[in-house]
Amino acid sequence: GAVVSQHPSWVICKSGTSVKIECRSLDFQATTMFWYRQFPKQSLMLMATSNEGSKATYEQGVEKDKFLINHASLTLSTLTVTSAHPEDSSFYICSATELTGRGNAYEQYFGPGTRLTVT
Amino acid sequence: AQSVTQPDIHITVSEGASLELRCNYSYGATPYLFWYVQSPGQGLQLLLKYFSGDTLVQGIKGFEAEFKRSQSSFNLRKPSVHWSDAAEYFCAVARNDMRFGAGTRLTVKP
């Protein structure tokens, strides 16, 4: 249980275009979803936190107009990288916490990640 | 401010040798503690977690970790390392959000 999926697993796009990444909780309802960014050989950096039906809370230094987050339902959050540039190339990982039931409210379940390459 | 420190960027051990990866945290209250492993190009796999209770936690793949409140540490151990354990290991602390350490890359020598 507590499975989180991401789609696509990898994507290549041209500079200036936008790309959308989906994060889904498959077998539970997610109170909160998180988006992380990971550069090669580095740790995960939290980009933003989103609750269903609310605006996302972005970490300092993350451009909210560039990284659009939509959390339209308790099982789906999307990250759209707008006007992508090569420096946006990275590994993007989402996670979710469960609304009720098993586990701990602070435990996050992670998706497999999405590799974005901007050419 | 909350922080997680993994002092060792890279560790090399021989196959069959014991392993200890260090993790120290700075937090206002006792946080929830996690260890994850990540293979190249892959997502995170949870090895173990500590919320409360017994301070020695058993995880998957033969790993264990010990929470020491007095030292603000949560070190990961394995008595005998296998070549397949070579990966990046992340310690993380959580309350309302999760913060990760910088990671420790484990290389296993034959």
pLDDT digits (tens, 9 = 90+) for A3-59: 999 999 999 999 999 999 999 999 988 888 999 999 988 999 999 999 888 889 999
At A35-49, the pLDDT tens digits run 999 998 899 999 999
Please compute, for residue A100, the number of CA atoms within 13 A of its CA located in the half-sphere on the CB side. 1
Dist CA A20 CA B73 (whole Å): 39
B98/A108 Cβ within 8 A: yes
Which residue in the block uniquely carries the two structure tokens 């994507």?
A: A11
Record the tokens describing residue B67, joined without a space.
């929470």
3-state secondary structure (DSSP) of residue B71:
helix
- Residues 6 or more apart whose Cβ sits within 8 Å of residue B97: A34, A46, A49
Record the tokens describing residue B62, joined without a space.
């033969």
Mean pLDDT along residues B53-81 = 96
User: What is the per-residue pLDDT for A72?
Assistant: 83
User: What is the per-residue pLDDT for A45?
Assistant: 94
Dist CA B29 CA B16 (whole Å): 37
Which range, of B16-25, B62-71, B74-83, B95-104, averages the lowest pLDDT? B95-104
CB of A44 closer than 8 Å to CB of A36: yes
For residue B23, is pLDDT > 90? yes
User: What is the per-residue pLDDT for A98?
Assistant: 83
What's the N-to-C CA distance of chain A in angstroms? 37
For residue B57, is pLDDT > 60? yes
CA distances to A14, A87, A108, A119 from A84, rounded to whole Å, are 8, 8, 28, 9
Measure in Å the smallest separation between the Cα of A85 and chain B Cα atoms.
Answer: 21
Q: Which amino acid is at B103?
A: G
What's the N-to-C CA distance of chain B in angstroms? 41
User: What is the per-residue pLDDT for A103?
Assistant: 53
Chain B environment of A62 (Cβ under 8 Å) = none
Neighbour tally for B1: CB within 10 Å:
6
Mean pLDDT along residues B92-102 = 87
- Order of strands across the sheet with A76-81? A4-7, A19-25, A76-81, A67-73
Record the tokens describing residue B110, joined without a space.
């034959």
- Supply the mean pLDDT for chain A: 91
Which of B43, B96, B99 minimises the CB distance to A112?
Answer: B43
Q: Does A114 touch chain B (CB under 8 A)?
A: no
Q: Does A1 touch chain B (CB under 8 A)?
A: no
Dist CA A119 CA A73 (whole Å): 32
